[in-house]
Amino acid sequence: MESEILKELSESGAESLSEAEAKKVLDEYDIPVPAEVKVDYEKGKDSKTYLSDLKEKGLPEYPVFLKVDSRDIKSSTDANTLKRVKNDAEAEKAIEEILSNAKEYDEKAEIQGILASEDVSSDDAREIFLGAIDDEQFGHVISLGFGGVNVEVYEDVEFRVVPLAESDVRSMIHDLKGKKRLEEFRGMKPVGIESLVEVTLKLSDLVENNPEIKEMDLNPLLATPKECIVVDVLFRLSQ
């Protein structure tokens, strides 16, 4: 199944997706993401009005993550455009701060809106990196490993060429040097391996059916005993 969202954006000349757009694509393929609401950016609107609009859309229960939605900001960490808040007062302050930080980071950045996402963190969660890249020699290649901000530190990632079979995904997991961290580990319950396999196969299906995808990063993907859920996602498209 081809993604209508990706097709339209690619035809429009877009080189990347905002997080809200990217998560809509994941939703097309039943790849789990946190409950989330978005309000469009309006120049001059104050933070109190943004918060009121988010509540009208169905703001998730606190604590929530507030984030600037923009195709031009690739890393919310680098731009400091992501804040976790526990109440209305913190939310209003955070909205003002992340919008200011976005403009300071890139004054030319086009801001699509403000996102509010539920906090799906868990004491039993492991941060997984799941990605895809369009390789000149092999075509689309899927990568799976331990992720979060330390993905480059761990350097524990496995690669397979699309399309993936279930046996491919299981071998990727088996070949990870730190695979024991997915089992019962330091008081944490074991990860639901079947959920991780399922999400990886869905990603393989996504990139196989959408050749315009140049690169994808699902990082982190939170793997828990019950499910795997994508917290942050980055898309780049070929032109």
Q: Are 102 and 150 a contacting pair, CB within 8 Å?
A: no
- The superfamily in CATH containing domain 36-118 is ATP-grasp fold, A domain (3.30.1490.20)
As a whole number of angstroms, the distance between CA 83 and CA 2 comes to 34
Confidence at residue 155, expressed as pLDDT on a 0 to 100 scale: 82
> Count of residues for the chain?
239
CATH of domain 4-31+122-237: 3.30.470.20
Per-residue pLDDT at 120 exceeds 80: yes
**Helix, coil or strand: residue 133:** strand
Residues of the chain with CATH 3.30.470.20: 4-31+122-237
Q: What is the DSSP letter of 61?
A: S
User: Is 142 in a helix, a strand, or coil?
Assistant: strand
- What count of other Cβ atoms lies within 10 Å of the Cβ of residue 44? 5
Residue with tokens 């019962």: 184
Q: Where exactly does CATH 3.30.1490.20 map onto the chain?
A: 36-118
Q: What is the mean pLDDT of residues 205-234?
A: 97
With a CB cutoff of 8 Å and minimum separation 6, the contacts of 29 are 1, 3, 202, 203, 205, 206
Is the pLDDT at 71 greater than 80, yes or no?
A: yes
Q: What is the pLDDT of residues 209-220, one digit of tens each?
A: 999 999 999 999
63 by Cβ neighbours in 10 Å (0-12 / 13-18 / 19+) ranks as middle
- Pick from 111, 107, 109, 73: nearest CA to 95: 111
pLDDT tens, 25-44? 999 999 999 999 999 999 99
